[in-house]
Amino acid sequence: MRTEPTPEAIEENSLYRAMGLTDDEYRRVVERLGRRPNYVETGLFGVLWSEHCSYKSSRAYLKKFPTSGPQVLQGPGENAGVVDIGDGIGIAFKMESHNHPSAVEPYQGAATGVGGILRDVFTMGARPIAFLNSLRFGPLEDGHTRYLFANVVAGIGGYGNCVGIPTVGGEAVFDPAYTHNPLVNAMCVGMLPADAIATGAAKGVGNPVFVVGSRTGRDGIHGATFASTDNPKEKERSAVQVGDPFLGKLLMEACLELISTGAVVGIQDMGAAGLTSSSAEMASRAGGGVELYLDLVPCRESGMSPYEMMLSESQERMLVVMEKGQESLAFDILHKWDLQVEEIGKVTDDGRLRLLFHGDVVADVPVSLLVDEAPVYQRCVVDRYHQPGLDVSLPVPSSNWEAAWLELLAHPTIADKRWIYQQYDTSVRASTLVGPGSDAALVLVPGTQKAVAMATDGNGRYVYLNPRVGGAIAVAEAARNVVCSGARPLALTNCLNFGNPEKPAIMRQFADAVEGMGEASRALDVPVVSGNVSFYNETGGTDIFPTPVVGVVGVLDALNRATPSSFQGDGHEVVLVGVDERGLDGSLYWQLQAGKPAGDAPYFRIEEEVRVQKLVQAAIAAGYVLAAHDVSEGGLAVALAEMAVGRGVGVQAQLIAGSPAGAFFGEAQGRILLEVADGQLETLQALAAAKEVPCQRIGRTGGAMVSMTVGSTDAMNVAVARLASVYNATLPERMNEPIAP
């Protein structure tokens, strides 16, 4: 084992900088400790005070989110949030990012992101039932982007398929803003008894502490600080963890069995910062301390130092606190599953994280200083956000509407995503009622007539143009997708993906987006119960679009009200619920015309959104609706095409008068298309009038064409088969081209 620098050398040579601490932060540690920290202690502070672990730039803003409600059983602060869906059933869920690792090692970066979020959910005592993901990449014309995309998709499928949990939904966006910084956000949803939530607190003085699962190696060391800096391509691949999904499956089953005994006091995934974060955070939640004997930690590499053991992010590991006297349970259950388990410490009441190695104390620091007193920064924020699209000199929109329509349907962001989800097991366990390709996924709740609804959404272009409105739209659209499935939204999780927080303009984006998300969450009654912040998504001084991604979970109370997103047959009325044409602001159509995002964010009024969603919920519950689909990217033209190609059912639509480009391709929010059976139209319109929601018949299903007309001269008329061919071809064709690692 190599000789570690002395505390004096660490200070004199500013070695703490490479370990993640700034000069001011190091001085703060020295002042609070009353001495210089040694090498191991400096490492502990470096990872726990990193942006990734401490949220030091975002914590003050996150307090603005609503986090409680009668449906919330567990809010932020634990490994995942939990909501009540009735019948004594809780749903645990969370979303996290693995952006930086995926930019360097896309397969393992994505796979370990899935593994990490899986452990966060089963740590709550919940059996995982579904995965979703939200992906952002640059244009697929670039060979390296195709390499990243292909391997991220393979990594998600490789891990999820092996652990036997279906990947039921998600989204993928392709824009030059993400060329150098792809975003890989993973979400997991699990089910548990509502009165049996496990927590991650190291309670009970003298209770034994166990490390469970994989042996500790040198992979992932400084992964947390790696995720808290810019330009990940310059970082070493050794900072990226390596997953083992087969071991992950065994670990999940063993931990769920162990939790079910009632002898588990606290349990925590060893995710970012590994043994450091799990031990310190568990002690902090309990208001106590932990003493660890590092020579007992099972290692798979020889000569590992205490520093390496504490900072390793080797995957498939858990830290478990058991009731004293129940140690044999842990050994019996874990050995039955052929898993490594070792007692490595105990809970104390002195409020300190104390580490010993062969009898020597190698670190002894206050838990509160490590966790609770991590710095909170009030970063510089510009007074007002400059809306970049307002100054764009926009070209005159094309009048070749059919060509523009086909171009949008062929854009990888809109085009059919079957190339992605065909690589995933979407129906293992036979519980998937509605899988990928619909507005929201639905997973059955065994023994009931209920299903869990789930959807992810976000649009960085909108947030770039207007962070506050764009942030609100992210929440509203994810909830709207759940409503379109027939379900009632309950709560949300999020991944807040932003650029460099040390730039005042980026912090303005963040502050405004959080403000807008909070406003929409309160109005729609979908509190935030878990989430993640990912900063420093920047390369060469260029930041990504500010991209908050939202995952909403809801409940479908009656399976016979599950609502598809495709037209179901000929001769039915097509109704637009919500506002009429409101221009091209923020639309993908305008971005393609102008060469960059244009205008403001799309039209959005939260009070209108609330009324629209409540109306559609009521209409579906009353049995008026055969199919529902939200109007989003690409506007009404794309939404109608998507409803048509699903089952090959045509439609003839007369759109509300206005500018043809806006009527066809505008992305004004708060709009849902409904397919309504004969005899139900007037009843639906009466219900809409009572709820003060615009509701207009715009057409009728039938035939082999999709026809749209605005006024008397502007029209589009394309065969459903032609639309389907364009819509389905893009990703397979692009991904058949060569890749470039």
Angle of helix 39-48 relative to helix 23-33, nearest 10 degrees, comes to: 120
Q: Where are the beta strands (DSSP E) in 398-507?
A: 432-434, 441-444, 451-457, 488-497
525 and 476 Cβ atoms separated by less than 8 Å? no
Question: Dihedral through CA 25, CA 31, CA 34, CA 39, nearest 10?
Answer: 10
The two three-digit tokens of residue 663, written as one number:
């009527």
- In whole angstroms, give the CA distance from residue 274 to residue 424: 29
DSSP state of 482: H
Buried/exposed 385-418: b ≥16 CB within 10 Å, e otherwise = bebebeeeeeeebeeebeebbbbbbbbbbbbbbe
Residue 52 appears among annotated catalytic residues: yes
Sequence-distant (≥ 6) Cβ neighbours of residue 401 within 8 angstroms:
637, 660, 661, 664, 714, 715, 716
User: What's the rounded Cα separation, in Å, for the pair 298 and 266?
Assistant: 20
- What residue ranges in 222-367 does DSSP mark as E strands? 264-269, 289-293, 317-322, 340-348, 352-357, 360-366
Residue among 528, 526, 568, 550 nearest 463 (CA) = 550
The percent helix, strand, coil of the chain (3-state, each to 5) is: 40, 25, 40
Dist CA 452 CA 554 (whole Å) = 6
180 is an active site residue: no
Query: Within a 13 Å sphere around the CA of 541, how many CA atoms are in the beta-carbon half?
Result: 0
For strand 352-357 and strand 360-366, is the pairing parallel, antiparallel, or unpaired?
A: antiparallel
52, 100, 572, 629: the active-site residue: 52
| Main-chain phi, psi angles of 630, to 5 degrees | -80, 150
For 666, the token pair is 């505008």
Supply the DSSP symbol for 299: B
Active site residues: 52, 98
